[in-house]
Amino acid sequence: MADVSVDIRNVVKSHGAITAVDHLSLEVRKGEFFSILGPSGSGKTTTLRLLAGFEHPDQGDILIEGRSMRLVPPNHRPVNLVFQNYALFPHLTVFGNISFGLEMRRVPRAELRSRVETVLDMVRLTSKQDRLPAQLSGGEQQRVALARALVNHPSVLLLDEPLGALDQQLRQDMQVELKAIQEQVGITFICVTHHQEEALTMSDRVAIMNHGRLLQVGSPQEIYETPASSFVANFIGVSNTLVGHIRSLNGSCCGVMVPGLPKAQAIVARPPAGAGVGSPVTLLLRPERLHLSREVSLPGFDNALEARISKAIYNGSEMQYLLSLADGISWKARVPNAGGGQKRFLPGEAVFVRWTVDEGVVLPE
């Protein structure tokens, strides 16, 4: 396929007894901002090091721009890596760091200078080109690391926790800047991170990994709205869950029976593909999709459950409520704080929790 930039084919990589990457297959498209998201030990960093050529697959193959990378050493691969903690050369200036790759490839002096100046300008560090890395702030070091990789015009740019060492504010600014730079240069970016907000904000597509396995690939919206498993749902944001089984099936709707809730009260939901009556399922609900009210009846919702507010937390932009449902089930709900004097609920108050059939995601157990 012409538009595939990186093709990972059934790759296995073990470190001793631990299988770091377990039969991973993945295609990354040209010019795409692709993130690999997972907790530590999920195999995402190993995947990146396999792409960069610092480790070699036990099985399977990796193709970059259609070329097998087997036996290709790191210095001959069309990829460049932005290292975690940057790995800037402490003895070289900003200019020296950025020109390093061009010098290794014996790019003529004049071309080298103009290319370095272009990226220096892009990352807004022209005025600091003669500084040593130790004389730069964290954000500036990060931008040097980025420029040092980009100046080589790689086919694929690899980023290992690129914003991990920055503080919250800078991290958010850099997310926007990184995405803008990626759109400007049009290079494929593959970014490894454990920070879900970062992945959702910057990426065209996200892959979720855990224990060396690929769990789901999709756009940020797909990943968030229709997680393929409860691990994915809980890793990306918070989810409320109910565990039960399908009692009735009726076209595009099903009734889910949840032990502990009143018998008459089946939850209306979309059935997962291939599910039949009696299939065990898990229902996932995002806290911000729940509607809380005191009204006993309210039109426009498919489901309603009684709950009691066990805790109300004010955190500026929104209210967070901890709800206790029947049978010791505990949920979270988030309500934006819009306008003054808006109705708030107090701990101990009885409320109704409502949602429509499309807000819930049902997964087969």
Partner 1 sequence: MSRRRTWLLAASLGNLLFLYAPVAVLIVFSFNASRLSATWQGFTLQWYRVLAEDEALLAAVQNSLLVGLASTVIATVLGVCAAVALERCPFRGQRVVEGVLLLPLVIPEVMLGVALMLFFVSIQLPLSLVTVTIGHAAFNVPIVVVIVRARLRKLDPALEEAARDLGASAWQAFRCVTLPLLMPAILGATLLAFTISLDDFIVTFFTAGPGATTLPLKVYSMVKSTVTPEINALSAILVLVSMALVGASLVLQRKPVRA
* Footprint on this chain of partner 1 (rule: CB under 8 A): 52-54, 73-76, 79-81, 83-91, 100-101, 104-105, 132-134, 136, 141, 148-149, 152
Rounded least distance, CB 122 to partner 1, Å: 18
| Contacts with 134 (C-beta within 8 Å, 6 or more apart), sequence order | 90
- Write phi, then psi, for 121 (nearest 5 degrees): -65, -40
Rounded least distance, CB 261 to partner 1, Å: 53
Q: Which is nearer to partner 1, 152 or 240 (CB)?
A: 152
Return d(Cα 70, Cα 191) in angstroms, integer.
Answer: 22
DSSP character string of 69-105: -TT--GGGSSEEEEBTTB---TTS-HHHHHHHHHHHT
Q: Which is nearer to partner 1, 90 or 276 (CB)?
A: 90
| Contacts with 137 (C-beta within 8 Å, 6 or more apart), sequence order | none
Rounded least distance, CB 155 to partner 1, Å: 13
Cα 95 off chain centre by? 33
Q: What token pair was written down for 208?
A: 């979720």
Rounded least distance, CB 89 to partner 1, Å: 6
Rounded to a whole number, what is the distance in angstroms from the first to the last CA of the chain? 35
Rounded least distance, CB 108 to partner 1, Å: 15
Q: Which is nearer to partner 1, 82 or 309 (CB)?
A: 82
Distances, alpha carbon 343 to alpha carbons 44, 292, 294, 339, 360, in Å: 45, 10, 10, 10, 25
Rounded least distance, CB 152 to partner 1, Å: 7
Q: What token pair was written down for 330?
A: 């505990």
DSSP run (H or E) holding 130: none
Q: Which is nearer to partner 1, 52 or 256 (CB)?
A: 52
Q: Which is nearer to partner 1, 52 or 215 (CB)?
A: 52
Q: Which is nearer to partner 1, 16 or 90 (CB)?
A: 90
Q: Which is nearer to partner 1, 83 or 224 (CB)?
A: 83
Return d(Cα 227, Cα 273) in angstroms, integer.
Answer: 14
Rounded least distance, CB 312 to partner 1, Å: 46
- Write phi, then psi, for 104 (nearest 5 degrees): -60, -30
User: For residues 199 and 209, is the Cβ–Cβ distance under 8 A?
Assistant: no
Q: Which is nearer to partner 1, 148 or 171 (CB)?
A: 148
Rounded least distance, CB 239 to partner 1, Å: 36
